């Protein structure tokens, strides 16, 4: 389902205010482009985009080249219907603070009436109070309060990802909702599962399961089956016990037929 208004992505504007490291402009452009966003706007960057910008953009240079540069935030958002300021910490300023998911949902909905801006601050000092006054609300990525400040481009990535999910009309987190952790002692470790698969491969050889066919295809399917079963450690031990008995029987059968030939 695509719940977003037409051209919604083109009405979502990422505004970088007073960026200090030109490399971050490139990284932010890349973060946006991977999420299908294109409207990058710069406000009074400390240094103009340079070689570092292009190195970090890694193919998103077109966004940087097309980015208008304004002297003030007020000019950059003059035509916007909704302006959201991204902040690393809560301020005294009395603005509604939104979770990125809710912010993205509302931002995409607001594109129905015009452009919407998501504003990111300086690496060292963030957005100043005057700039925050221009915002209708703030968005805060719920980081560790003891170390709350993400790299500028990383913050752009997280918010852009949420915007993309909102644009696609996806319920973030719905994937894997049916998964339940295994009961009992908990999921088997990677090493335990690989031990099981190793013994299973050996056993299939010993009981001549493949009959001349390449073993890889059967093993791939069996791995998928057992991984889907979400086994716990006790279940892995049970299966390995079954395999051990099958191996013992195969050995006995081999010995018996050997004896029969000798006898």
Q: How far is the CB of 84 from ligand SAH (least distance, A)?
A: 10
What is the C-alpha to C-alpha distance for residues 9 and 167, in angstroms, rounded to an integer?
A: 7
Q: Is 120 in the site for ligand SAH (CB under 6 A)?
A: yes
Question: Applying CB under 6 A, which part among 1-9, 29-37, 134-142, 186-194 lies near ligand SAH?
Answer: 134-142
Question: Strand, helix or coil at 5?
Answer: coil
| Binder among 141, 165, 196, 201 for ligand SAH (CB under 6 A) | 141
Please report whether residue 82 would count as binding ligand SAH according to CB under 6 A.
no
CB of 90 to ligand SAH, least distance (A): 10
**Residue 143 engages ligand SAH in binding (rule: CB under 6 A):** yes
Q: Tell me the window of 35-43, 122-130, 176-184, 249-257 that interacts with ligand SAH (CB under 6 A).
A: 122-130
Task: Pick the piece of the chain touching ligand SAH (CB under 6 A) from 50-58, 119-127, 172-180, 191-199.
Answer: 119-127
What is each CA distance from 92 to 131, 155, 242, in whole angstroms? 14, 21, 65
For residues 8, 9, 10, 12, the Cα torsion angle rounded to the nearest 10 degrees is 90
Using CB under 6 A as the binding rule, whether residue 140 contacts ligand SAH is answered as yes
Q: Which of 22, 23, 115, 126 binds ligand SAH (CB under 6 A)?
A: 126
**Cβ count within 10 A of residue 190:** 8
CB of 119 to ligand SAH, least distance (A): 7
19 scored as a contact of ligand SAH (CB under 6 A) = no
In the complex with ligand SAH, the residue whose CB is nearer, 136 or 223, is 136
Give the H/E segment covering residue 116. Answer: strand 116-120
152 lines the binding site for ligand SAH (CB under 6 A): yes
Give the residue ranges of DSSP H helices in 4-121.
22-34, 51-57, 61-66, 73-76, 100-110
Cα distance between residue 24 and residue 154, in whole Å: 9
User: What is the Cα Rg of the chain in Å?
Assistant: 29
Segment near ligand SAH (CB under 6 A); pick from 7-15, 80-88, 193-201, 213-221:
80-88
Give the C-alpha separation, 47 to 187, whole Å.
51
Gap between the Cα atoms of 208 and 229, Å rounded = 25
Indicate whether 121 belongs to the interface with ligand SAH (CB under 6 A): yes
Size of the site for ligand SAH (CB under 6 A): 20
Q: Which is closer to ligand SAH, CB of 28 or CB of 236?
A: 28
Nearer to ligand SAH, 143 or 206 (CB): 143
Place of tokens 């892995």: 236
Strand order in the sheet with 137-139: 69-70, 39-43, 12-17, 116-120, 82-86, 137-139, 97-98
Near ligand SAH by CB under 6 A, which window of 67-75, 125-133, 189-197, 222-230?
125-133
SS (H, E, C) 161-184: HHHHHHHHCCCCCCCCCCCCCCCC
Residues that bind ligand SAH (CB under 6 A): 86-89, 120-121, 123-127, 139-141, 143, 148-150, 152, 155
């Amino acid at each position: 389902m695509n719940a977003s208004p037409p051209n919604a992505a083109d009405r979502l504007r990422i505004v970088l205010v007073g960026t200090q490291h030109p490399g971050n402009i490139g990284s932010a452009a890349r973060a946006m482009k991977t999420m299908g966003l294109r409207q990058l706007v710069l406000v009074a960057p400390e240094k103009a985009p340079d070689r570092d910008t292009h190195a970090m953009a890694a193919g998103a240079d077109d966004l940087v080249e097309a980015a208008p540069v304004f002297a003030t935030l007020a000019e950059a958002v003059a035509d916007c219907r909704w302006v959201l300021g991204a902040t690393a910490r809560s301020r005294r300023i009395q603005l509604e603070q939104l979770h990125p998911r809710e912010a993205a949902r509302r931002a995409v909905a607001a594109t129905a009436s015009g452009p919407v801006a998501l504003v990111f601050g300086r690496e060292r000092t963030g957005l100043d109070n005057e700039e925050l006054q221009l915002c209708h609300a703030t968005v805060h990525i719920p980081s560790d309060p003891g170390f709350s400040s993400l790299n500028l481009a990383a913050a752009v990535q997280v918010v852009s990802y949420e915007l993309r999910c909102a644009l696609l009309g996806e319920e973030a987190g719905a994937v894997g909702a049916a998964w339940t952790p295994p009961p009992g002692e908990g999921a088997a470790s990677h090493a335990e599962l690989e031990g099981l698969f190793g013994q299973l491969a050996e056993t299939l050889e010993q009981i001549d399961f493949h009959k001349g066919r390449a073993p890889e295809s059967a093993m791939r399917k069996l791995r998928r089956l057992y991984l889907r079963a979400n086994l716990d450690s006790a279940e892995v031990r049970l299966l390995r016990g079954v395999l051990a008995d099958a191996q013992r029987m195969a050995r006995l059968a081999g010995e018996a037929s050997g004896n029969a030939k000798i006898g």
